[in-house]
């Protein structure tokens, strides 16, 4: 479910596209409403200067498109002063497996076999119940479209279990110009 962790970063609406310029994404925080289903991220940390995603997380129940659908709203804080404004677009509701199949390639650069023991079968998708590790994951945006407004971005994912709102997860990240490293 790493994927839902980042789910939203992916959904970068066309309307945010500005001049093509290279950028990088740094995670700032991952928060959730109390008793959120279906992920338990309390043992995930953002470590080091690069805020690598590290630790273990638990999927509380086997997930597929039938029982787990999420929608995402996007907020932008261009001044980075905590004043997040809801952007006038959102990601349509979709099942976890549909998301994985349609957007998973955005993460293939970031998440490799050595970074997690979570395996999702594309032809027979289930996010399996259980605890998995994530090891030192940085977000690689190499496959991503040339975006976007700089500043802090917050994706708020609302997760529906059999149609009932059962969890809310906020992923806040910073979008910066890429610093060339020599």
Mind spelling out the 3-state secondary structure of the chain? CHHHHHHHHHCCCHHHCCCCCCEEEEEEEEEECCCCCCEECCCEEEECCCCEEEEEEEECCCECCCCEEEEEEEEEECCCCCCCEEEEEEEEEEEHHHHHHHHHHHHCCCCCHHHECCCCCCCCCCECCEEEEEEEECCCCCCCCCCCCCEEEEEEEEEEECCEEEEEEEEEEEEEECCCCC
Candidates 15, 18, 47, 93: give the one binding ligand NAG (CB under 6 A): 47
Least separation in angstroms between residue 92's CB and ligand NAG is 19
Find the binder of ligand NAG among 45, 90, 101, 104 (CB under 6 A). Answer: 45
Over the window 158 to 177, marking each residue x when it contacts ligand NAG by CB under 6 A and - when it does not, the resulting string is ----------x-x-------
- Kindly state whether residue 131 participates in binding ligand NAG, applying the rule CB under 6 A: no
**Residue 135 in the binding site for ligand NAG (CB under 6 A):** yes
| Residue 143 binds to ligand NAG (criterion: CB under 6 A) | no
Distance CA 10, CA 56 (A): 22
Q: How far is the CB of 57 from ligand NAG (least distance, A)?
A: 9
**Per CB under 6 A, 55 contacts ligand NAG:** yes
- The H or E element containing residue 3 is helix 2-10
Q: Which residue in the set 49, 124, 179, 182 belongs to the binding site for ligand NAG (CB under 6 A)?
A: 124
Sole binder of ligand NAG in the list 46, 65, 133, 150 (CB under 6 A): 133
Residue 31 binds ligand NAG, judged by CB under 6 A: yes
Site residues for ligand NAG per CB under 6 A? 31-33, 45, 47, 54-56, 75, 84, 121, 123-124, 133, 135, 154, 156, 168, 170
């Amino acid at each position: 479910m790493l994927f839902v962790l980042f789910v939203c970063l992916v959904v970068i609406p066309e309307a945010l596209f500005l001049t093509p310029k290279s950028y990088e994404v740094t995670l700032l925080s991952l928060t959730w409403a109390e008793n959120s289903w279906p992920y338990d991220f309390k043992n995930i940390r953002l470590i080091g200067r690069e805020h690598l995603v590290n630790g273990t997380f638990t999927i509380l129940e086997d997930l597929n498109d039938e029982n787990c659908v999420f929608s995402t709203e996007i907020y932008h804080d261009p001044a980075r002063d905590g004043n997040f404004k809801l952007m006038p677009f959102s990601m349509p509701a979709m099942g976890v497996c549909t998301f994985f199949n349609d957007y998973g390639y955005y993460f293939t650069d970031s998440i490799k076999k050595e970074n997690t023991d979570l395996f999702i079968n594309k032809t027979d998708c289930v996010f399996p119940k259980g605890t998995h590790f994530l090891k030192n994951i940085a977000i690689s945006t190499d496959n991503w479209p040339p975006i976007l407004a700089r500043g802090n971005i917050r994706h708020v994912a609302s997760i529906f279990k059999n149609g009932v709102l059962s969890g809310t997860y906020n992923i806040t990240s910073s979008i910066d110009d890429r610093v060339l490293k020599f």
